[in-house]
């Protein structure tokens, strides 16, 4: 009896030891279990999401329970669940919700993953997130052109968008004087239901000066009425009047011109860039360029092209001046860089 009793106690003690050991193992397993987490796309708060997008959830571990009831999408504008096919690929631990049709533009959607999704006994914490479909507003017209020169000082800056936008203020759409860094005082004007916006300076902007037009997009900047942000842009232009030709001989269509006469040109201001590539004489019979020497007065306002030899008699010639159709470094232009309007005319020798 004592032996049986002892044996019972030993058995009980052994059972306690075994239970403790097993409990320790289970406890260790539970302590080392990895919580189920998920990474989603589109991310929470995403904007301008393409309407054809699928909703994707990638888990940190293999899970079960992913189906059309545990992974859902709702249009928050209408409150309507979005019909969709839900699939799960165990090899990549990726769930995909593929809507039956494109989502509605400019609508907010809410996606939900429920705790029916689990890894063993470890449940996913209920997860919800929202995103906004696009498209984002785009720019379809701007003025002045990028890098434009000889822009009249009375100009405005204009942006025309693909859809109405909001968030346009003196801090998000403005003209800046690049020489001083100052923002040009101006009024903001909108037409076309908010699609067209203009910065209208209160006074003519500084002449012969580079200016920058800045349009700031973003959630707190220029955006469409749904909240999709414009990407933003900036560009520069040169203000000022073009130099212009004030006098020229031979005149347009002149006849009986002396074969030894120079070509004389007078301009409204000092100019530069007058070279054999931008100011030249062409024989209209042979098509050949006439070799000539170019010179100017000290002020740079009067220029002469003198042929190196007498011209042919009773021959038509063409004078060509390259300005606005040239390049920044190969054009007749004022000292600020505003180009002369390109032009050409003929005359006939006697």
One domain, residues 176 and 217: yes
Please, which residues bridge with residue 292 across strands?
307
**CB-count burial class (<10 Å; 0-12, 13-18, 19+) for 108:** middle
pLDDT at 164 over 80: yes
Find the largest Cα–Cα distance for the chain.
150
Mean pLDDT, residues 194-222: 98
One domain, residues 84 and 128: yes
Q: Is residue 298 part of a domain?
A: yes
Q: Is residue 26 part of a domain?
A: no
One domain, residues 250 and 336: yes
- If one counts the domains in the chain, the total is 3
User: In percent, how much of the chain has pLDDT > 90?
Assistant: 89
- Reported as a pLDDT band with limits 50, 70 and 90, residue 33 is low
One domain, residues 250 and 324: yes
Mean pLDDT, residues 76-84: 97
One domain, residues 228 and 283: no
Q: Is residue 85 part of a domain?
A: yes
**CB-count burial class (<10 Å; 0-12, 13-18, 19+) for 118:** middle
What is the residue range of 97's domain?
Answer: 38-133
One domain, residues 55 and 125: yes
One domain, residues 342 and 249: yes
Q: For 165-181, write each residue's pLDDT tens digit.
A: 999 999 999 999 999 99
One domain, residues 147 and 125: no
Q: 236, 151 in Cβ contact below 8 A?
A: no
Q: Is residue 11 part of a domain?
A: no
Mean pLDDT, residues 276-292: 97
Helix (H) and strand (E) counts for the chain?
1, 29
- Reported as a pLDDT band with limits 50, 70 and 90, residue 5 is very low
For the chain, the average pLDDT equals 92
Residue 258, pLDDT score: 97
Listed in sequence order, the residues at least 6 apart from 79 whose beta carbon sits closer than 8 Å to its beta carbon are none
Q: What is the CATH number of the domain that holds 154?
A: 2.60.40.1220
Give the neighbor-by-neighbor strand order of the sheet with 173-177.
173-177, 210-215, 233-238
Q: Give the domain-ending residue among 238, 261, 289.
A: 238
Q: Is residue 14 part of a domain?
A: no
One domain, residues 66 and 98: yes
Q: Give the domain-ending residue among 99, 133, 167.
A: 133
One domain, residues 65 and 157: no
Q: For 138-157, write each residue's pLDDT tens digit.
A: 999 999 999 999 999 999 99
Task: Render the burial of 182-219: b for 16+ CB within 10 Å, e for the rest.
Answer: eebebeeeeeeebbbbbbebeeebbebbbbbbbbbbee
Listed in sequence order, the residues at least 6 apart from 26 whose beta carbon sits closer than 8 Å to its beta carbon are none
Residue 177: its H or E element: strand 173-177
pLDDT at 158 over 90: yes
Residue 34, pLDDT score: 78
Q: 134, 228 in Cβ contact below 8 A?
A: yes
Q: Is residue 21 part of a domain?
A: no
One domain, residues 337 and 254: yes
Tokens representing 92 are 């990549």
Listed in sequence order, the residues at least 6 apart from 98 whose beta carbon sits closer than 8 Å to its beta carbon are 54, 84, 85, 86, 87
One domain, residues 210 and 267: no
Torsion angle of the four alpha carbons 225, 226, 232, 236, in this order, in degrees rounded to the nearest 10: -20
Mean pLDDT, residues 269-277: 97
pTM: 0.82
Q: Is residue 129 part of a domain?
A: yes
Q: Is residue 161 part of a domain?
A: yes
Q: Give the domain-ending residue among 67, 100, 133.
A: 133
Residue 7, pLDDT score: 38
């Amino acid at each position: 009896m004592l032996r049986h009793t002892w044996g019972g106690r030993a058995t009980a003690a052994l059972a306690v030891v075994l239970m403790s050991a097993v409990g320790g193992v289970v406890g260790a397993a539970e302590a080392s279990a990895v919580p189920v987490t998920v990474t989603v796309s589109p991310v929470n708060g995403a904007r301008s999401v393409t309407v054809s997008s699928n909703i994707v959830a990638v888990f940190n571990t293999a899970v079960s329970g992913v189906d059309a009831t545990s992974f859902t999408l709702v249009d928050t504008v209408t409150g309507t669940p979005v019909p969709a096919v839900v699939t799960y690929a165990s090899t990549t631990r990726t769930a995909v919700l593929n809507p039956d049709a494109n989502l509605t533009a400019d609508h907010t959607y809410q996606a939900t993953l429920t705790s029916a999704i689990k890894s063993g006994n470890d449940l996913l914490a209920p997860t919800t997130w929202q995103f906004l479909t696009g498209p984002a507003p785009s720019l379809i017209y701007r003025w002045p052109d990028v890098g434009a020169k000889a822009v009249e000082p009375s100009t405005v800056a204009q942006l025309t968008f693909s859809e109405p936008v909001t968030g346009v203020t003196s801090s998000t759409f403005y003209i800046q004087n690049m020489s001083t860094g100052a923002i040009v005082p101006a009024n903001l004007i909108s037409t076309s239901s908010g699609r067209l916006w203009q910065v209208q300076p209160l006074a003519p902007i500084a002449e012969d000066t580079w200016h920058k037009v800045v349009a700031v997009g973003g959630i707190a900047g220029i955006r469409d009425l749904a909240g999709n942000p414009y990407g933003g842009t900036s560009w520069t232009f040169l203000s000022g009047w073009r130099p212009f030709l004030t006098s020229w001989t031979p005149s347009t269509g002149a006849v009986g011109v002396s074969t030894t006469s120079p070509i004389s040109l007078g301009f409204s201001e000092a100019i530069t860039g007058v070279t054999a590539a931008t100011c030249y004489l062409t024989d209209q019979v042979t098509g050949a360029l006439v070799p000539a020497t170019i010179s100017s007065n000290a002020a740079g306002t009067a220029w002469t092209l003198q042929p190196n030899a007498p011209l042919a008699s009773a021959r038509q010639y063409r004078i060509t001046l390259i300005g606005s159709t040239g390049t920044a470094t190969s054009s007749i232009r004022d000292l600020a860089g505003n180009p002369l309007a390109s032009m050409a005319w003929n005359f006939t020798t006697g």
